[in-house]
A and B are shown apart, each in its own frame.
Chain A
Amino acid sequence: MTRPRLPLLRLALSLPMLAFGVSTEARAQDVRMGSKSFTESYVLGEVAVRALENANVPASHRQGMGGTIILWQALTGGGIHAYPDYTGTIGEQILGTESRLSREQMRDSLAGRGIGMTRPLGFDNTYALVMTRERARELGVEAISHLREHPDLTVGLTHEFMERRDGWRPLARHYGLAMEEVRGLEHALAYPALLRGDIDVMDAYSTDAKLEELDLVALADDASFFPRYEAVFLYRLDLDPAVVRVLQGLAGTLDRRTMVHMNAVAERTGSYEAAAGVYFGEEDVEGKQWRRVTGRILGWTLRHLQLVAVSLLLAILLGVPLGIRAARPGLLSQLILGGTGVIYTIPSLALLAVLVAVPFLGISTATAIVALFLYSLLPIVRNTATGLRSIPVEIRESAAALGLEPRARLWKVLLPLASPTLLAGIKTSAVINIATATLAALIGVGGLGEPILSGINLNDAGVILQGALPAALLALLVQGLFDALERWVVPRGLRL
């Protein structure tokens, strides 16, 4: 007899092999630099990391973690040590003051929260409302106040700008604007919408490379609404003074023209390293790019697999016992099935946001794994319960009447009989997990979502595909792997 003896034990043993023991968590002494999810922030983060590395300080970059609130929480929580921001944002959004603070007042106020602020880097990136040159000329609009004459225009704004204290609502009040069509849009998607004419006005930054590239005009802030947005680095005050000196060394070295150029290089090459290279005087970095792409895709893929494997393994370890319990009739079973079902209905972005607010999770790999784990539970729990419930009563009773203990009944009879359904549940979980894991990039823990997210920011389909294609292939591969596993694990008697 060479048939599988303990099919489920085999299944249990074969899964950890997927979970590579590698941890890409930054080493303790690394300086963890964060950045927001737009090109300029990525580039500034990259510049800082390069500057630190040039000063022999080990540093890592958590790219594109999200908006101001997430970065600020990560900074105060210790998830990251520093990140680039703008004085306007700090005053309005972080300190939440109505009055315009001087830099000194801002510095004092931040120090009270354990955070330091470097001197300005040298350029001002204020918010602006922009239109296509053609449309602006057609309507005769040159300044924001001219919009008052055109309440029928459609405005597309980033969600952040819509909610900011110095954002759309106060701006509209300040200028007496009365547009009815105001839509929230992902910034990168707003440009094509503007060019197509779906929207007439959008918000943008004054250093945005797109302004020149797409021939857009920034409307004059003729009633001086916007505060100043000088770029600075925020850092934890408990950071090594040597590290702070490096960040301070960047102050006053970056003018607006250099920043616009770096943004343009980033958009053209799809590489933030290449853009940061401009600052360090490397103009010919674009050629090296292609050789690095393969290596990077491999890195993202491994990271992705790691997130999937760990969360899936945890989901199996908890989901199968929960499913076994839920196979019995009763209130508790209803609660288990209902509870895992409810988790499934929470939008992934909302779930991430909730988990990020949990003190000991924050912006970390653990958060991504917990979220993926929660999403993976439902198919495993439900299929385990269904598989067990559908076993005919005569089989259950025969197992009992033989004199097998309940545990032996479960392992020798019930679970092997439920194994095809159980395995199908794990397969579903794995595929969903691979797709969902791309969202991990939203909180800066990497994986194949990273190129997808940067690609959306760069408006570059090629970069998006660097993440989307491997993710799709991975899903197919895992599906095939489970089909093979099924042949090995499911007893032959059940495949007749």
Chain B
Amino acid sequence: MIRLTDVSVRFGDLVALDDVDLGVEEGDTTVLIGPSGCGKSTLLRVVVGLVEPSAGKVTVEGEPVTPDTLLPLRRRMGYVIQEGGLFPHLSARRNVTLMARHLRWPARRREERLEELCELTHFPRDGLDRYPGELSGGQQQRVGLMRALMLDPRVLLLDEPLGALDPLVRRGLQDELREIFGRLNKTVLLVTHDLAEAAWLAHRIVLMREGRVVQEGTLADLKERPAHPFVPDFMAAQRSPVEI
């Protein structure tokens, strides 16, 4: 579904991605994890075409991501960032339906889709006419997710979607995301730095460090069959409350 072949990204002297090979299967939820600056966000941005690789090839559904194919490809992918990246001048409703309006969907079809999404993300309908500045962090995140899902994309890319939320809200939304991913059966690529969140949401975890993939597999693979001394180090660094 998503395939990166020998992809490198350099910003001047800085190597953000170093010769990465990665495939994401259809319907899978893959979580990219690693310390800050390991290149996990850059990888996501390469897929959605916000960053152009210095070398290598990226394909989505078999189609190469190039400046020419970017627009139609982006419309088949949903992209959610930390704090939602909502447009402050548009109401929640307008944020979600912006693309559908741009593509001239009939009003009825828009409303039906909006209805489905509110139900899916547990977003209150009376919040639709509020502006982002009038919504809580969790609700902004729901609107961001609805906006990404509006055109019913087959691929969903999420960059630290819950990063800016307080622990309680975050916990609730992790449950909801898991439920949503399960119901939608989409190909999901999610970035987080939180191992518990990764384990809770992912079919497969990809651990990255300094622009390279260190190991990919299930949580059990990482725990029991580490491919590199960094793997147990990283796992150990994530302190669980039980240990304290």
Interface residues of A (CB under 8 A from B): 1, 3, 394-395, 397-405, 408, 412-413, 416-417, 491-494, 496
A493 engages B90 (CB within 8 Å): yes
Given contacts A398-B85, A401-B49, 20 further A-B contacts (CB under 8 A): A1-B91, A397-B45, A397-B50, A397-B85, A398-B87, A400-B49, A400-B50, A401-B50, A402-B99, A403-B71, A403-B99, A404-B102, A413-B89, A493-B87, A493-B89, A493-B90, A493-B91, A493-B131, A496-B131, A496-B133
Q: Could you tell me the distance between the alpha carbons of A469 and B79 in the complex, rounded to whole angstroms?
A: 58
Nearest residue in A to B70 (C-beta to C-beta)? A403
Candidates B74, B90, B147; contact of A491 at CB < 8 Å? B90
B74 engages A412 (CB within 8 Å): no
A395 engages B133 (CB within 8 Å): no
Does B113 lie at the interface of the complex (its beta carbon under 8 Å from any beta carbon of A)? no
B81 engages A397 (CB within 8 Å): yes
Please provide the chain B residues from 63 to 111 with a CB less than 8 Å away from any CB of chain A in the complex.
Answer: 71-75, 77, 79, 81, 83, 85-91, 93, 98-99, 102
Chain A residues within an 8 Å CB radius of B86 = 398
B147 engages A402 (CB within 8 Å): yes
Q: Could you tell me the distance between the alpha carbons of A166 and B115 in the complex, rounded to whole angstroms?
A: 89
B74 engages A403 (CB within 8 Å): yes
> DSSP majority for the A interface?
helix
Q: List 8 A-B pairs, minimum CB-CB distance, nearest first.
A: A398-B85, A403-B74, A493-B131, A491-B89, A403-B75, A401-B79, A496-B133, A493-B89
**Residue among B75, B83, B88, B133 with max Cβ neighbours from chain A (10 Å):** B88
Q: How far is the CB of B93 from chain A (nearest CB, A)?
A: 8
Does B53 lie at the interface of the complex (its beta carbon under 8 Å from any beta carbon of A)? no
Q: Could you tell me the distance between the alpha carbons of A3 and B77 in the complex, rounded to whole angstroms?
A: 29
A399 engages B50 (CB within 8 Å): no
Q: How far is the CB of B84 from chain A (nearest CB, A)?
A: 8
Interface residues of B (CB under 8 A from A): 45, 48-50, 71-75, 77, 79, 81, 83, 85-91, 93, 98-99, 102, 129, 131-134, 147
Q: Could you tell me the distance between the alpha carbons of A493 and B98 in the complex, rounded to whole angstroms?
A: 15
Q: Could you tell me the distance between the alpha carbons of A3 and B94 in the complex, rounded to whole angstroms?
A: 11
A404 engages B99 (CB within 8 Å): yes
A408 engages B102 (CB within 8 Å): yes
Q: Could you tell me the distance between the alpha carbons of A416 and B72 in the complex, rounded to whole angstroms?
A: 25
Q: Could you tell me the distance between the alpha carbons of A113 and B88 in the complex, rounded to whole angstroms?
A: 67
B91 engages A398 (CB within 8 Å): no
Chain B residues within an 8 Å CB radius of A398 = 79, 81, 85-87
Q: Could you tell me the distance between the alpha carbons of A494 and B132 in the complex, rounded to whole angstroms?
A: 10
B88 engages A394 (CB within 8 Å): no
Q: Could you tell me the distance between the alpha carbons of A401 and B49 in the complex, rounded to whole angstroms?
A: 8
B83 engages A394 (CB within 8 Å): yes
Q: Could you tell me the distance between the alpha carbons of A491 and B94 in the complex, rounded to whole angstroms?
A: 12
Q: Could you tell me the distance between the alpha carbons of A394 and B161 in the complex, rounded to whole angstroms?
A: 13
Given contacts A403-B99, A405-B71, contact A413 B50 (CB under 8 A): no
Q: Could you tell me the distance between the alpha carbons of A430 and B52 in the complex, rounded to whole angstroms?
A: 43
Candidates A394, A403, A491; contact of B85 at CB < 8 Å? A394
Q: How far is the CB of A393 from chain B (nearest CB, A)?
A: 10
A401 engages B88 (CB within 8 Å): no
Chain B residues within an 8 Å CB radius of A417 = 87-89
Candidates B81, B134, B147; contact of A496 at CB < 8 Å? B134
The 15 sampled A-B contact pairs (Cβ below 8 Å) are A3-B91, A394-B83, A398-B87, A400-B74, A401-B50, A402-B74, A402-B79, A403-B71, A403-B75, A408-B102, A417-B88, A493-B87, A493-B88, A496-B88, A496-B134
A399 engages B131 (CB within 8 Å): no
Chain A residues within an 8 Å CB radius of B129 = 1
Chain B residues within an 8 Å CB radius of A401 = 48-50, 74, 77, 79
Chain A residues within an 8 Å CB radius of B88 = 395, 417, 493-494, 496
A402 engages B98 (CB within 8 Å): yes
Q: Could you tell me the distance between the alpha carbons of A399 and B48 in the complex, rounded to whole angstroms?
A: 12
Q: Could you tell me the distance between the alpha carbons of A58 and B106 in the complex, rounded to whole angstroms?
A: 62
Chain A residues within an 8 Å CB radius of B93 = 1
Nearest residue in B to A397 (C-beta to C-beta)? B50
Nearest residue in A to B71 (C-beta to C-beta)? A403
Q: How far is the CB of A417 from chain B (nearest CB, A)?
A: 6
Nearest residue in B to A404 (C-beta to C-beta)? B102
Q: How far is the CB of A279 from chain B (nearest CB, A)?
A: 65
**Residue among A3, A400, A402, A408 with max Cβ neighbours from chain B (10 Å):** A402
Q: Could you tell me the distance between the alpha carbons of A492 and B98 in the complex, rounded to whole angstroms?
A: 17
Q: Could you tell me the distance between the alpha carbons of A476 and B199 in the complex, rounded to whole angstroms?
A: 64
Q: How far is the CB of A65 from chain B (nearest CB, A)?
A: 49
Q: Could you tell me the distance between the alpha carbons of A356 and B75 in the complex, rounded to whole angstroms?
A: 56
Chain B residues within an 8 Å CB radius of A413 = 87, 89
Q: Could you tell me the distance between the alpha carbons of A398 and B99 in the complex, rounded to whole angstroms?
A: 12
Given contacts A493-B90, A493-B91, contact A394 B102 (CB under 8 A): no
Candidates B50, B85, B132; contact of A493 at CB < 8 Å? B132
